[in-house]
């Protein structure tokens, strides 16, 4: 059963939103995907928001590029949490979408991840759903554990490299390290 509704402003957003779908699948979270533009399909956007909760959705992930009103408009029609994903499809590479989502005025919040942060949107969704779904909690914790294990050697190498760089930079300035 779909508990997450993924909505994107255009079919052209699919590639950038794909990591959200893959990650939800990995977490065993049911989702549905819709293409709705708040600008081009205002009636559908309203209907989606109004019916989301009664259809069993618990959370919405809305990805859009350019002037991205979609997450805010969906959030205006529902009290479900809405996570916005600003997409780099426009000539401003997503900065305009980021501002549209992150700068929602007080009263109707939209959680906003990084530009093209579809994967994090799904992980954030997992952590929210994990509050009451034990299976999701287990899957999310497992993901985080594996990620930490995999990241450990790379982190060590990075630290070493950056310490070396600092030492070289300090020597160049005539300072002791």
- Tell me which residues touch ligand C2R (CB under 6 A): 8-10, 12-13, 37-40, 64-70, 87, 89
The answer to whether the Cα torsion of 20, 25, 28, 31 is positive or negative is: positive
Quote the radius of gyration of the chain (alpha carbons, Å): 20
Would you state the structure tokens that stand for residue 128, as one six-digit string? 């929210």
Shortest approach of ligand C2R to residue 115 CB, angstroms? 12
CB of 63 to ligand C2R, least distance (A): 7
Minimum Å distance from CB 86 to ligand C2R?
Answer: 9
Q: Residue 47 or residue 164: which is nearer to ligand C2R going by CB?
A: 47
- For the chain, how long is the longest CA-to-CA vector? 68
Q: Which is nearer to ligand C2R, 96 or 143 (CB)?
A: 96
Closest distance of CB 14 from ligand C2R, Å = 10
d(CA 126, CA 133): 9
- Nearest position to ligand C2R, beta carbon: 9
Q: Which two tokens stand for residue 120?
A: 């994090």
């Amino acid at each position: 059963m779909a508990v997450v509704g993924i909505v994107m402003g255009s079919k052209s957003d699919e590639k950038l939103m794909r990591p959200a779908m893959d990650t939800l699948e990995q977490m065993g979270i049911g989702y549905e995907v819709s293409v709705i533009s708040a600008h081009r399909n205002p009636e559908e956007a309203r209907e989606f928001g109004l019916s989301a909760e009664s259809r069993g959705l618990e959370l919405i992930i809305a990805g859009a590029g350019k002037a991205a009103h979609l997450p805010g408009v969906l959030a205006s029609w529902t009290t479900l949490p809405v996570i916005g994903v600003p997409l780099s499809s426009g000539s401003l590479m997503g900065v305009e979408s980021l501002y549209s989502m992150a700068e929602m005025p007080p009263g109707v919040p939209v959680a906003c991840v990084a530009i093209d942060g579809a994967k994090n949107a799904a992980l954030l969704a997992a952590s929210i759903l994990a509050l009451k779904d034990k299976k999701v909690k287990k899957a999310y914790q497992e993901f985080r554990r594996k990620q930490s294990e995999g990241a450990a050697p790379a982190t060590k190498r990075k630290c070493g490299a950056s310490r070396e760089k600092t030492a070289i930079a300090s020597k160049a300035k005539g300072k002791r390290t």
